[in-house]
Amino acid sequence: MNNPSKGTIADDQLEPLLTEFEYSRITKRSVASARRDRLLGTGCTYVKLGSSVRYRVADVRAYIAQNLRSAK
C-alpha cells in the first residue's frame, strides 16, 4: 500500500503540462493560432500524447524569451 505522505516518482520528477487552451491564455493567442503553428512546424515546442497536445512550462518560458524584442 502506498504511503500518502510520500510523493510518487511522478510527483517528484515531472512538471505539470499545460493544455493548448492554457497555453493560448498565457500567450494571448487563439487556440487556432497555436494549432496553425503546430501544423506549420513553428511556434512553441509541444508534447503529443495520443491525440492530446500539451506544453511544458519550461518550453513556454523559453519560447517567450526567444521572442523578446527591444525598441530601437
pLDDT of 13 above 80: no
- Evaluate whether 18 touches 26 at the Cβ level (below 8 Å): yes
Domain count, the chain: 1
Residue 47 confidence (pLDDT): 96
Cα–Cα separations (whole angstroms), residue 24 to 10, 70, 71: 26, 23, 25
**Residue 56 falls within a domain, yes or no?**
yes
**Residue 7 falls within a domain, yes or no?**
no
Q: Is the dihedral of CA 50, 32, 69, 16 positive or negative?
A: negative
Q: What is the pLDDT of residues 20-64, one digit of tens each?
A: 999 999 999 999 999 999 999 999 999 999 999 999 999 999 999
Residue 9 confidence (pLDDT): 63
Q: Closest Cα to residue 56, out of 30, 27, 18, 26?
A: 18
**Residue 72 falls within a domain, yes or no?**
no
What global pTM score does this model have? 0.77
- 26: domain range? 15-66
Q: How confident is the model at residue 7 (pLDDT cuts 50, 70, 90)?
A: low
What whole-number distance in Å separates Cα of residue 24 and Cα of residue 18?
A: 10
